[in-house]
């Protein structure tokens, strides 16, 4: 098996060599395109990272600068490059106040949790006395929509729950 793998790699290498031209291979010669105009294009620094180019026909000729002015301009450019950016303004949002949860416990010894708000609905599970539940809502007929700590949601008679914890 080991020799088969080596033979396969050798065959693939030979195939690649032949497909790329073999002994007749010559690298492609790239020719640089000549500039279309005799004047060089002037590139200026922008506020963004995108480079802007300006045609030299739109630039007003500037008088020659003295050595002192050139030194001052270079110093100013270096100072601008080394300056730290202004600190960003960070807005702090007001803390989110979560609503107080209505936590109650099962008052009976074993109470059925149902799929809907009446005894006509199927039983989802039976809960032991003292099991903590979150009451999501209570309807006018005295049925509470509750959720267990495990995320099971169902309905239970309100009279079978303790008073809300404070």
Domains, the chain, in order of start with CATH, read: 103-160 (2.30.30.40)
Nearest to 135 by CA among 146, 125, 124: 146
pLDDT, averaged across the chain: 80
- Quote the pLDDT of residue 44: 64
Extended beta strands in the chain, E state: 42-44, 52-54, 103-105, 110-114, 123-128, 132-138, 143-148, 153-157
Q: Confidence band (pLDDT; 50, 70, 90) for 106?
A: very high
- Quote the pLDDT of residue 49: 58
Asked if 130 and 158 touch (Cβ cutoff 8 Å), the reply is no
Nearest to 141 by CA among 111, 163, 119: 119
Q: What percent of the chain has pLDDT over 70?
A: 75
Model-level pTM?
A: 0.42
Sorted by sequence, the CB contacts under 8 Å of residue 135 that are 6+ apart come out as 102, 103, 104, 144, 145, 146, 161, 164
115 three-class SS? coil
Does residue 54 have a pLDDT over 60?
no
Q: Which residues pair with 145 in a beta bridge?
A: 137, 155
Q: Confidence band (pLDDT; 50, 70, 90) for 141?
A: very high
Does residue 75 have a pLDDT over 70?
yes
Q: Which residues pair with 143 in a beta bridge?
A: 157
Query: Distance between CA atoms of 82 and 78, rounded to whole angstroms?
Result: 6
């Amino acid at each position: 098996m080991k020799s088969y793998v080596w033979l396969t790699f050798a065959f693939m290498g030979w195939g690649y060599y032949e497909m790329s031209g073999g002994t007749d291979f010559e690298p492609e010669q790239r020719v640089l395109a000549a500039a279309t105009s005799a004047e060089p294009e002037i590139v200026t620094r922008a506020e963004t990272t995108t480079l802007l180019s300006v045609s030299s026909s739109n630039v007003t000729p500037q008088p020659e600068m003295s050595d002192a002015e050139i030194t001052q301009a270079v110093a100013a450019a270096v100072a601008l490059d080394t300056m730290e950016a202004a600190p960003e303004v960070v807005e702090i949002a007001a803390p989110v106040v979560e609503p107080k949860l209505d936590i109650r416990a099962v008052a009976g010894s074993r109470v059925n949790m149902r799929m809907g708000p009446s005894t006509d609905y199927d039983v989802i599970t039976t809960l032991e006395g003292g099991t903590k539940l979150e009451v999501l809502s209570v309807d006018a007929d005295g049925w509470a929509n509750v959720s267990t700590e495990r995320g099971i949601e169902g309905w239970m008679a309100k009279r079978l729950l303790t008073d809300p914890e404070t």
